[in-house]
A and B are shown apart, each in its own frame.
Chain A
Amino acid sequence: MQADRLSGGGLVDRSAPLPFSFDGEVYEGFEGDTLASALLANGVRLMGRSFKYHRPRGPLSAGPEEPNALVTVGGGAKADPNVRATVQELYAGLSAASQNRVGSLRFDLMAVNDLLHRFLGAGFYYKTFMWPAAFWEKLYEPLIRRAAGLGALSGQPDPDEYEVAHAHCDLLVIGSGPAGLMAALTAGRAGKRVILAEEDFVLGGRLNAESFEVGGKPAALWAAEAAAELAALPNVRLMRRTAVFGVYDGAVYGALERNADHLGAPPPGLPRMTMWKVHAPRAILASGAIERPIAFGNNDRPGIMLAGAVRSYVNRYAVLPGRRAVVFTACDDGWRTARDLRAAGAEVTVVDARPGAGRDEGFRTIRGGAVVDTAGRLRVSHVTLRHPGGTEDSASADLVAVSGGWSPALHLTCHLGGKPVWREDIAAFVPGATLPPGMHVAGAARGDYTTLACLRGGAAEAASALGVSPAEAPEAEDGAAGVSPFWRVKGAKRAFLDQQNDVTVKDVELAHREGFRAAEHMKRYTTLGMATDQGKTANIPALGIMAELTGRTIPETGTTTFRPPWTPVPIAAFAGRHKGKHFHATRLTPSHDWAKENGADFVETGLWLRAQWFRRGAEKGWRDSVDREVVETRGGAGFCDVTTLGKIDVKGRDSGAFLDRLYRNTFSTLPVGRCRYGLMLREDGIVFDDGTAARLGEHHFLVTTTTAKAVQVFRHMEFARACLWPEMEVSLVSVTEQWAQYSLAGPKAREVLARIVEPGFDLSNEVFPYMACGAATLRGGVPARLFRLSFSGELAYEIAVPARYGHGLAEALAAAGAVPYGVEALGVMRVEKGHPAGNELDGRTTAADLGLAALGAKKSTGFIGREMERREGLQAADRPALVGLRPVDPSAKLLAGAHLLEPGAAPKTETSLGWVSSVAFSPSLGSSIGLAFLKGGMARTGERLRMWDGLRGADVAVEVVSPVFIDPEGAQLRG
């Protein structure tokens, strides 16, 4: 039973009834309704409770500026909190619930806060929850957190899909009221590519909410015809349900399209929302204006609405929000509401704050009067009226329509730093002279309030933006809109400004008394304008009141800056598809599947997944697998996938000289067919990365990098080539993904390799010694590159094949008798051998710190980092340098990150001698071993120190040893 639905008119489809529910009650609305209009049609006025005082609230507006009517739509994981009922489109089966209540909406237990309002004013939290400090964490914060907030999140992962997309056009038109439609018609008829973005689900803006005519026909019909013409133009894209929320550099506009929020059962594959990045060299901002309320006593009761919103409900939704209406206005626009309400059957009293305003139109009229107070528990029932002489009387009323004038919705003009300017004649801020590049403002958004001015302005701005001729504007009303600034009724009790955050005139007065008078201070002290609606209806009246209190003008008092977004945008919409596994790509090596079939557990290394260890048979913990892999490799042969190391192909006549400038050591002297370890420094002298370079030809090197730094090293080398030495003849190509590469290590590595390469390939030490490299052919005719490099300290080879042969090579290596080992065993063996890795190349260490000062020490040519490496501080004798550590008790465990101290020293920053960088359990030595940076370095070999870790409670006696724990002479790797 839609008791308050008008029998005719409006843009609702009475042939399409839609059942929906609110707080469990089932109602019926029509196609074309919002949730708010459908509830109003059903006689429901109470839709929410306020934030702080839990006062009963109904809708104040009929649009996106709504502060009060916030509800949760849907349930379970899909529950969407703080949805404005005034913009939520109705669909069959919509289920909504009220928020911020304990108990029912009608009997909210937290409403006791309203009785305590005297104590809960602005600054209450700051003043009350100050002491004792110990109470904050345990008592105050949980208390405040429980009481604060409106709707609650579901706490479950969002099941919906979101999309991010780009769109391009010659002209973006923001808003589809009279100015926007004319701008789009002007550009569209001229053949320009136009995007018309409208937040609402119907085009036309205010034209749908008014009873006057445009071009000799009802305004809404004119708008529908204009929209139909635009829809027929192939160069025009109409985007309804799309809010342009931000302006960004380079003429990019952020827009949120709600694709599925109006559908009860969205088709599969349709995203819930799309985040559009609209590239528009020109834009027309036709965002209209927002009506301002007037602050009077208890002006927040359900049934008190903005006058323009009342016209929207009557004319667009065919809903009569009240039968005994009081229109309280300070401008001519309020009188339109009085007329439309009377035409719809209501009994209307007009209270105009301006003495002598308005003609006699047969209403009960009080000129120069005011509404001072209201009564009614869950809906307004009476108002107290003040007459010009000061006498007051009470009148029965179930609807109060309020208009304090209009403020241009100029938010988007401020996003790139534009400052609004005050226009005294319309008592409003309008866009300033500095607009975002390419943006023009038309219609009410720039302070043109008559319909004809909007129509003409939209056409003219589009014409001037694009250099085309303007579309001809139809006839329309052009009455001057008289307005006088009127912010509040003096002497009123509890007059609300920011209804969502429950900020009253009294709070602004308190802010003034306590010195928070600048607009930004007032905002933060009172929280005015800081709720989800960002004070769209509250900011200007509050500023007006502060100006009155300080005796300054409004421009002197200031305005707050508007930042993106104009309307709340879910973070999920920004993320789009970048969630879960889609957040990053996953890089897999060619033998990933083989590793998986052979029991590998994987570890993420950047985007790569690398085999961490290979579980065998009854192995219970990872250590069992890792210890076995080390023992089997050092006792026989093992192989490890090292495809993820960066590989850079360097070619050209100057390749050698180029690498000399990039590395601390020299490569131009490297013979063809040989490899060399290389250390790359940053320009500030700190070690950047390490790797090897293999000379494959006179003018051809292959450089490897660590897995972690592959991207940065290539970027750095390209910088050196293109920006520092463009005259050098050298070219760089990253070939990381083109080659699958495996390290084959252990005393039996040569035997295993011999079973894989074509018979006759000479692997003897004489022909292919340590640090040799060259081309080879594997059995089956697979082309390969061989490098005799060792990270483990064993006799070892690295074998590279084109990526497509990687899987097959892993199979062949296993069949030939090598056991696979993962990056953990690789790490154990490199610690045993004392090779620095990521933990040692940590962006703070120099070559000398790493014990690598001899590398390139005799080099005569310059290289990146050479001069800065010689800085005094980097040469200091007491810099921590690389050493090895063993626990005195072999069963004790070392910890990476622990500090090193003198045996008797107190654990303090000043007494720390260094830190442990890497640790491993060495199966070869049967004890925990570590690499560490120690003041004095290797000179302290043999000393006993204390390894102390306050976080993990470790205190272990350790001995300083050589970082090379096994085969210090290198007999094994050269064997």
Chain B
Amino acid sequence: MRIPCPFCGPRMLEEFVYLGDAALMRRPAEGATCDYVFLRDNPAGRHRELWRHEGGCGAWLVVERDVTTHEIFGAALAEARDAG
């Protein structure tokens, strides 16, 4: 499995660290943190996830992946405003 890093190009899975659902980027105001910490959607299909290119440029990425086939549709820089 390869992830197309916007800085480094397609790189092997071993170079990346996985965090989880990209919904983690939408940190709520106080009062809704419990759901934010413990509740996750678990779709069988396309999923937006956070990966860090730790063995490369170090960038946090939002990767869209089909979790049933592992097909990767794209990766965007997490800190770019439109990625979240």
Contacts and interface: CB of A to CB of B under 8 A. Distances in A.
B60 A719 contact: yes
Interface stretch (A247-255, A311-319, A566-574, A776-784): A247-255
A147 interface: no
Contacts of B25: 723-724
A723 B30 contact: no
A843 to B, nearest CB: 15
A722 interface: yes
Given A722-B79, A726-B81, A683 B70 contact: no
15 contacts: A250-B70, A252-B1, A279-B2, A416-B69, A683-B36, A715-B52, A718-B58, A719-B19, A719-B52, A719-B60, A723-B25, A724-B25, A724-B27, A867-B31, A867-B34
Interface in B23-76: 24-25, 27, 30-31, 33-34, 36-37, 50, 52, 54, 58-60, 69-72
Contacts of B54: 715
Chain B interface bracket (under 10, 10 to 19, 20 to 34, 35 or more): 20 to 34
B37 A868 contact: yes
Interface string B1-36: 110000000001100010100001101001101101
A715 B17 contact: yes
From DSSP, what is the main secondary structure of chain B's interface residues? mixed
Contacts, number: 58
A414 to B, nearest CB: 15
A336 interface: no
A684 interface: yes
From DSSP, what is the main secondary structure of chain A's interface residues? mixed
- By CB atoms of chain A within 10 A, which of B70, B79, B81 has the most? B79
A683 B25 CA distance: 13
- By CB atoms of chain A within 10 A, which of B25, B27, B30, B36 has the most? B27
A683 B30 CA distance: 12
A237 interface: no
Contacts of A249: 1, 69-70
A862 interface: yes
A445 to B, nearest CB: 23
A721 interface: yes
B50 A723 contact: yes
A563 interface: no
Contacts of A862: 30
Nearest to B81: A726
Nearest to A712: B17
Contact of B84 (A250, A721, A723): A723
B72 to A, nearest CB: 7
A861 to B, nearest CB: 11
Contacts of B1: 248-250, 252
A723 B58 CA distance: 13
Contact of B79 (A250, A277, A684, A723): A723
A511 B30 CA distance: 61
A475 B72 CA distance: 44
Interface of A: 166, 248-250, 252, 277, 279, 416, 437, 683-684, 715, 718-719, 721-724, 726, 862, 866-868
A721 B33 contact: no
A416 B59 CA distance: 30
B69 to A, nearest CB: 8
A747 to B, nearest CB: 43
A723 B24 contact: yes
Contact of A866 (B30, B34, B52): B30
Contacts of A723: 24-25, 50, 60, 78-79, 84
A107 to B, nearest CB: 52
B30 A867 contact: yes
Contacts of B72: 250
B47 to A, nearest CB: 14
A683 B33 contact: yes
Contact of A868 (B17, B33, B59, B71): B33
A520 B61 CA distance: 41
A722 B59 contact: yes
B62 to A, nearest CB: 8
A724 B79 CA distance: 8
Nearest to B68: A417
Contacts of B50: 719, 723
A753 B20 CA distance: 48
A867 B33 contact: yes
Contacts of B80: 726
Contact of A721 (B12, B31, B79): B79
Nearest to B70: A249
Contacts of B36: 683
A718 B50 CA distance: 12
Given A437-B71, A721-B79, A683 B37 contact: yes
Which 7 A/B pairs are nearest by Cβ-Cβ distance?
A: A249-B70, A722-B79, A726-B79, A249-B1, A867-B33, A250-B1, A722-B60
Given A249-B69, A252-B2, A715-B17, 8 more contacts: A719-B50, A722-B79, A723-B60, A723-B78, A726-B80, A867-B30, A867-B33, A868-B34
A166 B14 CA distance: 13
Contacts of B2: 250, 252, 279
B12 to A, nearest CB: 8
A447 B58 CA distance: 48
